[in-house]
Chains A and B, each alone.
Chain A
Amino acid sequence: MKRVVDVSIPLGPVHPCWKEPARVKCETRGEKVLSAEVELGYMKKGIERIMRGRPWQEVMFLAERVCGICSVIHNMVFIEGMEAVSGITVPDRAAYLRVVMNELDRIQSHLLANFSYCYTIEHETLAMYLLNTRERAMDCMERIAGVRVNKAYMIPGGVRFDLRDTDRALLLADLAHLEDSVHRYGRMFDTGPLIATRSKGVGILMQEQARIARAVGPTARASGIAEDVRLTHPTYRKLAFTPIVRTEGDNHARIMLRFDEIFQSLGLIRQCLHDLPAGPIRGGGTCGAGETVSRGEAPRGELSYFIRSDEYGRILDIAIRTPSIPNIDACTHHMLPGVTSLADVTSVFVSADPCIACNER
């Protein structure tokens, strides 16, 4: 709702701090932000419309290209949805390998989010350290799947590539390296006095607000909401997963939560590699008709696909709800109002890890 304000300051669509185009109009009095309004449409490609009426073989690749940062989970959720409607089962080894890949993807996405935040608060040294560490996680994925981004690793009934013993040894070595680096940089972030000034108590999201906007993922978990779709996923339940929760709800909590989740992901991968059963990585099956809602925990939060298909495996209707939709909503409508300085607007926006490509599809 419009209020009487001093100035309305537009940020974007092309902004040095933001990786993607979006336009946020901040209504301010003095430097205090009273309300913010978002203008989108710069990334609207109409993926859901393109998907309708196409066979699953095509939709699988389109689903991955909803978001290039968290492409693995889009692939996984869509494929699990198709498996659910067609009654295809996955061999155990493939189920574990899916978790390995998904957690590697989460590590690189969280490192990228923390890089963006450090870059936005102009701590370029830490940002570059984190970006370089991310390359290590990208290497791990490339070694298993053959490409860096848009891997199409999962297919109905299993995964495409097995983990060879040589790769497994290299993966374990890389995990040790990642753990060392992330431990060091996480501590740098946690104890840096100037970082604390820019982050602690800035961009607070109260628990009630997070619930109203239906915030998900690290944004919600940093505000004390212990929700994680991994709790209901069969493979993660075997791994005895419990979510990490913080209660501060400010920028600092969100970034530190991501650092903590990286350690958790490293632990999950190690556990998967330890428990990894021998056996085939691909089962058989035919994609058929059905209707389902498939959910999974993306790096940014809950991702859900509503899928309806016909007996030939063609997608009749699909609706994708990405985690960035509620998170950007919570960020712009609940975190930004009350921010006391315009310099903090960009950092608060980036701390929610906004992904406009997911948001608009």
Chain B
Amino acid sequence: MSRDLASVPAGAGPTGPSAVALTPARIIAIAIAGLALVCVPYLLPNYYVSIATQVLIFAVLAMSIDILAGYTGRTPLGHGAIFGTATYVTIYWSTTLGGSPWTGMLIGVAAATTVAAIFALLAIRTSGVYFLLLTLALGMIVWGVCLRWTSVTGGENGIRGSVRPMFIATHSAFYYLVLAAVAAITFVMWRFVNSPFGLTLRGIKDSESRMRSLGYNVPLHLFIAFTVSGFFAGIAGAIYAMFNSFVSPSTVALTQSVAGLLMAITGGIGTLFGSFVGAAAIISLENFVSSYTERWLSILGLMFVLIMVFAPEGIVGRIRMILARSKG
């Protein structure tokens, strides 16, 4: 079986992504995870709180990618550009134009959603490796614009400026705001993938021809899914503007798209919540291992190879498989 990025395996084991009911065991697990996250600023120094904040933001980016890769079977490589568009617009509005950061975030998310809609119009009629390459190319165009439109974007120098209001200036205050926002966003995304519309996406992933014969306008559904996915990537990008207070072409570069996709795959494509595990694994490696060795990228690559070989359904996908087997 070929395992290229255009056909990443469904993470929820052999059954693929499926509607997840909130059983008492799951509610308890979510409550424990939530409590642990709430305790982070009390237990860890600011450096780690900052890393945890970064994990939360990138988990949203990875989940937005998972909506497409895990639920429609189309793997995008342009979400870094959508994410970065929101970051650029938020920082430009707040620093260069001197506007309110909250308005900047709203405009940033709107801009990212618009970019996603344009990407969607061009990409939804393709699938597999063609979809992957087309979204990659569209992302590269955004990167090129950010690099060359120096009068607005600052070119290679980017734009620097603090976007964060005073009341969330501290690491812990900002962390709690991000945690609350990400919890709300995650709930909305969970409802989305388990909605009637989410089921149509899983149907499209299984058999587009059958969906058409049942009366579904498949391109329209994919357009909506891509745009919604871009909306969530935009929210992550706007929050990142507050987190990083700096944006440059590297924020919209291909590496950003690849990082988001790797997080989704590592956690488990089609699991949604796996994105948190994937983001934590990759950002931890990036921050901790890089302090010990310059070859951390090689270690990241090795980890990814091991996951693809031994747990192609991702960490959460593999855990779900093991739990399913132990039950049945």
Partners in one complex: no
